[in-house]
A and B are shown apart, each in its own frame.
Chain A
Amino acid sequence: MTLNMVAGPPKISRKVAKKSKKNWRKNIDITAVEDALEEQRFEERIGGSFATKESKDFFVLDTGGETEEGTKKKKKKNKEIKPFKCFSLLEGLPGVPDPAPQRDRIKTADERMNPVVKKKKQLLESQGFVSQKDKVAKLNREKHLLAKKATELDRKTRRRTEFDFDLWGEENNQGAVAENKEKKGVDNSWIEKETKVHTDTWTSKHRPKEGLKRNQKSKTLLPAVEVPHPGQSYNPALADHQDILWKAAMVEIDKEKEQLRIERLTTGMFPKKSDAPNEETYFKEMAVGIPELGGEQPEDSDEDSHEKEGEKGEEGEEEKEKVDGATPFKPKTRKQKRNQVRRDKIQRINKGLKMEKLKEEGIFTLKSIKKEMNAREEETKARQKRKAEREIEKLKNPAQLSNYKYEPQEIEIKLSDELTGNLRNLKPEGSILEDRYKSMQRRNIVETRIKHHAKKAKVKIVDKKSHKMGFEDELRRQKNTRAQKARSRAKAARIKARKGVLSK
């Protein structure tokens, strides 16, 4: 071992005291020993000393060629059986031998049994003598397995698979569901109602009153299964088929109109690239009226503008007054004020008199008042009726239940040349699954939703300072520009394709 390689007694410096044992210990140079020990520990850590190992521990003879598949499989397997890191300490350090290798596990009762007794028991069992305890144990085990097998399906589906009682039967009328039926012959009459409610709450036995009162229907007048259009027959009559084709066509035309409208109001609002303002046009615009810069003269002639200026000069003052205040302030004279007060008074009196007269005459207009009232009532009734009708009409359409509008599904049709006229060559149209889903949306059972794709978190790539080589930033910039170019190219292609479709 390396420890033995330290030759001779430890050396001690000359200039230190060598009087006591303590001094000797203090001043002795044991670096060599410590080094050796450290080396030993290191070797233990990395899996034992190389000196003690044989060459076969270091090298492996490669017999089979490595295929790509093989390495992949191996990798996967390695991943599976990799032990937990947190348990690595428990496994001990490599190279360090287990201090207590002969650790015993506790033996089972069967293993602990005296071999003589065991042999005797086996002999008896072979002859058919089984102890009562074993018999019961075996029976119980079988029972358990049977029960497990019987409920396997139930446990798998997690729903009821056996329907073996009448849910709407007499015995269930009191509220308890048969699953929780009370055992027959058990007298429960002593349990008070209050107690029962108390114990049953939060179990399916309990039926809150609220449930009995509730209206279980969603607000709609649409049927669950809508009757198909006769033109949707696999072999339709001509008129019916034409009818549904026409309906489908109308839907398509509306859609296209809408698409065109959007196009007009978005891309149509912007000028084309050739018409778009650029530096040249900007300069032209700015140079209008400056002949030195080659700008055009404005259309209206110089004389007109001069004339306008002259007019302005004459009427300038008056206009100014008008602009500042509506009329120039002139206080009323006392006479004017007096007259005003008198006039007001007379007017007031006249108004009162007129009202009195109207009141008196009102008795003679009773008939017309009645007529008016009747008319108003009629109108109210008519309005109410209209409103009720509107409400009913509303129930035939899907309500707005979420932020997304209900979109009706496409009408399933077969074009005239697709109709085969026999069942064998029929290819079904549409999906009943979608049909059902849309029907539920239409009947306000579920709200309209759209599928949200989970957004991927943006990852910022940063090079570690210690690993930076200097050219990464440039590399990334190049990559980004390349990607950008590709994107813009794709966008241009898209726009071109859309325009092509529209022009068609």
Chain B
Amino acid sequence: MVPRKKKYETGEAAAFLTRKQAMAKLQLNLKDFRRLCILKGVFPREPKNRRRAQKGNASTVKTLYLEKDIRFLLHEPIVWKFRDFKVFLKKLKKAQEKKNWGQAKRLQSNKPKYSLDHIVRERYPTFVDAIRDLEDCLCLCFLYSTFPRTNKTPVEMVELCRRLTVEFMHYVIEARALRKVFCSIKGYYFQADVKGQTVTWIVPHNFGYRAPAQVDMRLMSVFTEFYTTMLGFVNFRLFNSMNLTYPPKLQGLQMTGTSQGKNKGEGEGEGSTRVQEEERVFALNQSLHRTVLPEETVEMDNIPITDDNASMEAARKEAEAVEAQTKLFKGLKFFLGREVPREPLVFMIRSMGGEVSWDATVAPGSTYQESDERITHHIADRNQIPDKKLGRFYVQPQWIFDSINRRSKLNEKHYAIGETLPPHLSPFIADRRVGDYVPPEEKNLAEQDNAEKQDNEADEGENEEESEEDEEEGEEESEEGEGEEESGEEEEESGEEKENEAEEVKVGTKEKVDRKAEKQLQETEEYRLREMMVPRKHRGLYKSMMKNRKRRINESKNLERKREKWDKDNTPQPKKAKKAKL
């Protein structure tokens, strides 16, 4: 007879193992087990039915792992290295207790080590996979690179992180990949476009290190250990893809004993982090030696891939804007005051093609003096500067952040020294929907943009009228953007018409007004027709959309009214209004 199956032998109960069971199966202690799980990317799982998964006992929530995952871990050769290390520790302890210092030293120098290459390869089968998961990696590496030398953050790891992050920043600079920046109270957010993937990371403000009590540093170190290996290989591939040699030879960033010795002599804590940071900036401000200088600009193909003209047009515009952004500071020379945070600014300026330097007495790596007459922008963060030089703009650091986000050089006047700065808006918020509240500051910026564009167009005679048209069209566009897709075509048509108009205008202006009104009439008619053509299936959705839009418009109007009132109440002197805020 077939023996009867007992309870909890199949199904969900058999699919999960508790942590204790998993450890027993792998014959590892907790420390090694956690390390292995982190390195291999095995995470605890939540079962669908906890009572069944915990074999009937659900009084406490246990950490469960998939049995399949644990079986997968059994194959890992690194497990043997863990066991070797355990043996090594025993030997070392014995030697130390017996005061066999010679033996202890010999053992120390031959610590068993393991390589994580194959795990990186296994977890990220393709290069793009690795880049997709780069955000965590970058955040941790940038964070660790700012750490002082403590026993929980080993020197070697910190230095490796420092090297790798500087190399990555060099890649971003060379590839002109930086897209968005944001200075928050937490740290600097950067967003770059790496091989078509959007990668965001945080860099902490340069301040003293304070370990939060809740964080398990040992765990974070294991993550960092894995991510350093990953970032190294990613860097290699990124550099190679740009015809750059890897590792780059950078002064001030040597992974040899010399710099270590020097730093150690200067003492622990604040002082050494300062030194670290300076060296990093020094390394960042050097241009790499390229084997080939690709100076060609790639022309966008004009082949329509899809029928969707509007999206094509949008993509083209976006590409142009990015192109313009990458050359934002080209040919400009910046000089940083000593009170300005050097690292992020150097990174940003160089990513946009600018040159940068600082006072040679502040930190090593300055390339030109303050007296250099070619300097176009002097960045300072104090209320006044005693001897200003002619021929250069004196701006506050926020000018750089905002310019990059707006993708154009903003008016330096608003960011001059001593001026109350306009607010630093986040570039990460999604595009506003129609009717959403737009703060007046942002409105001003948008208006400035429009105005500049018009200047560039430089069609003086009909500038104003056209701009009016533009605005109107823009509004309509955005209105229709949500519901319809035809608007794009229409826009193109209207664009052609505009050109025709321009030719015809020379003949006479009288007719023009009529045409405009006609066109508007026609458009509204078309819009109504399209509204009618909405299939019955989608009518409900359309109606709710419109209703929501109306609600948003009402809300934003309300907010605007509030703001106006507040502005009226709280601005006796327009200049100091910002500081008196609330």
Asked whether any CB of chain A lies closer than 8 Å to the CB of B200, the reply is: yes
Residues of A within 8 A of B460 (CB): none
Cross-chain contact B184 with A233 (CB below 8 angstroms): yes
Asked whether any CB of chain A lies closer than 8 Å to the CB of B527, the reply is: no
Asked whether any CB of chain B lies closer than 8 Å to the CB of A40, the reply is: no
Interface residues of B in 457-508 (CB under 8 A from A): none
Check A168/B44 contact, CB under 8 A, given A157-B157, A433-B143, A436-B220.
Answer: no
Cross-chain contact A227 with B200 (CB below 8 angstroms): yes
Cross-chain contact A451 with B44 (CB below 8 angstroms): no
Asked whether any CB of chain A lies closer than 8 Å to the CB of B439, the reply is: yes
B185 touches which of A210, A414, A422 (Cβ 8 Å) = A414
- CB-nearest residue of chain B to A405: B61
Check A158/B80 contact, CB under 8 A, given A177-B118, A224-B139, A235-B424.
Answer: no
Asked whether any CB of chain A lies closer than 8 Å to the CB of B77, the reply is: yes
Residues of A within 8 A of B340 (CB): 423-424
Cα–Cα distance between A219 and B69 once the two chains are bound (Å): 14
Check A239/B185 contact, CB under 8 A, given A159-B228, A421-B578, A421-B579.
Answer: no
- CB-nearest residue of chain B to A83: B99
Check A401/B424 contact, CB under 8 A, given A155-B109, A212-B125.
Answer: no
Asked whether any CB of chain B lies closer than 8 Å to the CB of A128, the reply is: no
Check A233/B424 contact, CB under 8 A, given A430-B186, A431-B212.
Answer: yes
Interface residues of A in 477-495 (CB under 8 A from B): none
A167 touches which of B75, B220, B233 (Cβ 8 Å) = B233
Closest chain-B Cβ to A231's Cβ sits at a distance in Å of: 8
Asked whether any CB of chain B lies closer than 8 Å to the CB of A469, the reply is: no
Name A's interface SS.
loop
Cα–Cα distance between A400 and B47 once the two chains are bound (Å): 9
Closest chain-A Cβ to B453's Cβ sits at a distance in Å of: 23
Cα–Cα distance between A121 and B382 once the two chains are bound (Å): 76
Cross-chain contact B77 with A168 (CB below 8 angstroms): no
Cα–Cα distance between A422 and B60 once the two chains are bound (Å): 50
Residues of A within 8 A of B11 (CB): none
Cα–Cα distance between A223 and B199 once the two chains are bound (Å): 11
Cross-chain contact B63 with A402 (CB below 8 angstroms): yes
Asked whether any CB of chain B lies closer than 8 Å to the CB of A192, the reply is: no
Stretch at the interface among A25-33, A49-57, A440-448: A440-448
B115 touches which of A156, A204, A208 (Cβ 8 Å) = A204
A429 touches which of B185, B246, B582 (Cβ 8 Å) = B185
Interface residues of A in 227-250 (CB under 8 A from B): 227-230, 232-240
B121 touches which of A172, A239, A413, A432 (Cβ 8 Å) = A172
Cα–Cα distance between A413 and B186 once the two chains are bound (Å): 9
Cross-chain contact B136 with A224 (CB below 8 angstroms): yes
Asked whether any CB of chain B lies closer than 8 Å to the CB of A428, the reply is: yes
Cα–Cα distance between A161 and B157 once the two chains are bound (Å): 10
Residues of B within 8 A of A432 (CB): 139, 143, 186-187, 202, 204
A159 touches which of B189, B201, B229, B236 (Cβ 8 Å) = B229
Cross-chain contact A166 with B117 (CB below 8 angstroms): no
Residues of A within 8 A of B215 (CB): 431, 433-434, 437
Asked whether any CB of chain A lies closer than 8 Å to the CB of B568, the reply is: no
Cα–Cα distance between A422 and B417 once the two chains are bound (Å): 11
Contact with A along B71-89 (1 / 0, CB 8 A): 1100101101000000000
Asked whether any CB of chain A lies closer than 8 Å to the CB of B298, the reply is: no
Closest chain-A Cβ to B189's Cβ sits at a distance in Å of: 6
Residues of A within 8 A of B111 (CB): 155, 158
Residues of A within 8 A of B223 (CB): 440
Using a CB–CB cutoff of 8 Å, the interface residues on chain B facing chain A are 38, 41, 43-46, 60-64, 69, 71-72, 75, 77-78, 80, 109-118, 120-127, 130, 133, 135-136, 139-140, 143, 154, 156-157, 160, 182-187, 189, 200-202, 204-205, 207, 210-216, 219-220, 223, 225, 228-229, 232-233, 235-237, 240, 246-247, 255-257, 339-341, 381-382, 396-398, 420-421, 423-426, 428-429, 437, 439, 441-442, 559, 563, 566, 578-579, 581-582
Q: List 19 A-B contacts (CB under 8 A).
A: A158-B112, A160-B116, A161-B232, A168-B237, A177-B115, A214-B69, A218-B43, A227-B200, A232-B426, A238-B566, A239-B439, A399-B45, A399-B46, A414-B185, A416-B581, A421-B578, A429-B185, A437-B216, A444-B44
